[in-house]
Amino acid sequence: MFHKEGHKIIIITTAIIVTATILADEFITILWLRMLLQIAFLICFVLILQFFRNPKRQTQLNDNNVVSPVDGKVVVIEEVEEPEFFKDKRIQVSVFMSPINVHVTRYPIGGKVVYSKYHPGKYLVAWHPKSSTENERTTVVVENKVFGNVLFRQIAGALAKRIVNYANKNDKVTQGKDQGFIKFGSRVDVFLPLDANIKVKLNQKVRGGESIIAHK
């Protein structure tokens, strides 16, 4: 199953690779070179398919839990000042996605969208400390009956050139459902209340929509 954001790219890539394979077979007479090129085309095609995959996830709906919005590795767990929406101290949990991770962003908690905003910006590497405030990003806040307001932020990385955000203010959203997509390497920050019980550790690998990152 592939994410809808990849359908156009997959179709175009398929057409290019099929055409290139036919041309290579027709005009390249050196067998080893032709086979090498065809293998390279196949690898490229497989990489595109795996990047846009959208596996089904079994989210256990629970307002007392916050699940990871994305697949990847936990790179930040710290108390910070959140300047955009809360303007006070929160616990930040950040998950970094490499290009080989699933890049679907899922709602970490269910409730009502009370804030959704896109910010143009730079393309610093996603693990850079200033990427959270200076890179291209989107900020979404979901109001939940147990956690109150939970903010999560999609952040473009050095390779990411497009962030897709489906969240609109006043939307009623379900935990674990698709919220967006980030193309080609990035990270997501989640900002939680100070009394949230963090259930992950630094460098832990997490799965979007399934791994519990906080409990209350």
Tell me the per-residue pLDDT of 58-114, one tens digit each, with 9 for 90 and over: 899 999 999 999 999 999 999 999 999 999 999 999 999 887 888 899 999 999 999
Is the separation of the CB atoms in 99 and 125 below 8 Å? Answer: no
Q: Write down the pLDDT at residue 50.
A: 72
Instruction: For residues 46 and 70, state if they share a domain.
Output: no
Range of the domain at 40: 4-51
CA distance 5 to 26: 33
30 and 71 in a common domain: no
Nearest to 116 by CA among 133, 99, 134, 137: 137
Q: Are residues 167 and 191 in the same domain?
A: yes
pLDDT attached to residue 117: 95
Domain membership of residue 95 (yes or no) is yes
One domain for residues 162 and 210: yes
What pLDDT does residue 123 have?
59
* Token output for 215: 């409990």
| Token reading at 105 | 């962003």
With both helix axes pointing from N to C terminus, report the angle between 7-27 and 31-51 in degrees, rounded to the nearest 10: 180
Is the domain of 41 the same as that of 75? no
Query: Hey, is 31 helix, strand or coil?
Result: helix
Poorest-pLDDT segment among 1-5, 46-50, 198-202: 1-5
pLDDT of the residue at 3: 64
CA distance 7 to 12: 9
- Note whether residue 59 is domain-resident: no
Cα–Cα distance, 23 to 139 (Å, whole number): 46
For residues 84 and 161, membership in a common domain is answered with: yes
Q: Residue 57: inside a domain, yes or no?
A: no
Active site residues: 186
Domain presence at residue 143 = yes
Q: Are residues 32 and 102 in the same domain?
A: no
Helices (H) and strands (E) in the chain, counts: 3, 14
Number of domains in the chain: 2
